[in-house]
């Protein structure tokens, strides 16, 4: 039976939904950002970057909602079979992933503002600029956005690798807690 809220040993469907939706949108963000960055300066490039910025704001909003939900619905405890260092590393990795998602989105928004490239949310409304147009600040925020995204990508690989390790090596059911289905009676 699917639970809305987290239980002691599994995430509920709301936490799972946030997790997988943000994961899918982040992958789309990587693809959009890399594709648009390689385009020559043109209307097409600006349109793809506009989509990237709008989606980035959506990811930021979802991450903030996810953090709000997480504050209301406590995450299941990690198994006692995991060494203490591994539990600490898992908590630190999750906190860093959330922080980098927020910071990368804010750096991108600050870059767009400082570059004078307003952010329009899918044509529905314009988002206010966070800073006045300033070429030096734009370059600083652009570099910060790239660095934060690169760090996030690296940490994401660690996160995925750890999830796969729990499936293939430790077989402790940790990854199955975030899946909406329960394969072969796993915890």
Which pLDDT value is given to residue 175?
A: 87
Mean pLDDT of 23-46: 94
User: Which CATH number goes with the domain that contains 71?
Assistant: 1.20.950
Contact predicate 98/67, CB 8 Å:
yes
Q: Which of these, 168, 169, 167, lies nearest to 178 by C-alpha position?
A: 167
Q: How high does pLDDT run on average in the chain?
A: 93
CA angle at 93 for the pair 89 and 97, rounded to the nearest 5°: 175
Tell me the C-alpha distance between 72 and 179, whole Å: 20
Asked if residue 156 is part of any domain, the answer here is yes
Number of CB atoms found within 10 A of residue 158's CB: 13
Contact predicate 15/70, CB 8 Å:
yes
Asked if residue 119 is part of any domain, the answer here is yes
Which pLDDT value is given to residue 109?
A: 96
Which pLDDT value is given to residue 9?
A: 86
Asked if residue 41 is part of any domain, the answer here is yes
Range in 29-33, 124-128, 150-154, 174-178 with the lowest mean pLDDT: 174-178
Asked if residue 79 is part of any domain, the answer here is yes
**pLDDT for residue 2 is more than 90:** no
Which pLDDT value is given to residue 1?
A: 58
Residue 81: burial class (beta carbons within 10 Å; 0-12, 13-18, 19+): exposed
Mean pLDDT of 14-24: 96
CA angle at 9 for the pair 8 and 15, rounded to the nearest 5°: 85
Asked if residue 33 is part of any domain, the answer here is yes
142: Cβ–Cβ under 8 A, 6 or more apart, which residues?
111, 115
Write the DSSP symbol of residue 122.
Answer: T
**pLDDT for residue 172 is more than 90:** no
**pLDDT for residue 15 is more than 60:** yes
Q: Which of these, 36, 41, 1, 30, lies nearest to 157 by C-alpha position?
A: 30
pLDDT band for 65, please (50, 70, 90 cuts): very high
Asked if residue 4 is part of any domain, the answer here is no
Range in 24-33, 54-63, 90-99, 178-187 with the lowest mean pLDDT: 178-187
Task: Choose between 90 and 173: higher pLDDT.
Answer: 90
Query: What domain range includes position 155?
Result: 13-185
How many separate domains does the chain show? Answer: 1
Asked if residue 161 is part of any domain, the answer here is yes
pLDDT digits (tens, 9 = 90+) for 94-148: 999 999 999 999 999 999 999 999 888 988 999 999 999 999 999 999 999 999 9
**pLDDT for residue 184 is more than 60:** no
**pLDDT for residue 90 is more than 90:** yes
């Amino acid at each position: 039976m699917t639970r809305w809220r987290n239980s002691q040993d599994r995430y509920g469907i709301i936490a799972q939904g946030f997790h997988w939706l943000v994961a899918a949108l982040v992958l789309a963000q990587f693809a959009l950002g890399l594709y648009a960055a390689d385009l020559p300066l043109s209307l097409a490039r600006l349109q793809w970057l506009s989509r990237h910025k709008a989606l980035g704001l959506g990811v930021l909003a979802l991450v903030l909602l996810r953090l709000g939900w997480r504050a209301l619905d406590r995450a299941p405890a990690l198994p006692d079979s995991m060494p203490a260092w591994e539990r600490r590393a898992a908590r630190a990795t999750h906190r860093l992933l959330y922080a980098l998602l927020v910071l990368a989105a804010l750096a991108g928004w600050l870059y767009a503002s400082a570059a004078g490239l307003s952010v329009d949310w899918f044509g529905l409304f314009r988002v206010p600029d966070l800073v006045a147009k300033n070429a030096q600040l734009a370059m600083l925020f652009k570099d910060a956005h790239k660095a934060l995204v690169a760090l996030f990508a690296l940490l994401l690989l660690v996160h995925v690798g750890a999830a796969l390790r729990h499936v293939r090596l430790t077989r402790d059911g940790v990854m199955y807690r975030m899946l909406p289905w329960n394969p072969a009676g796993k915890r």
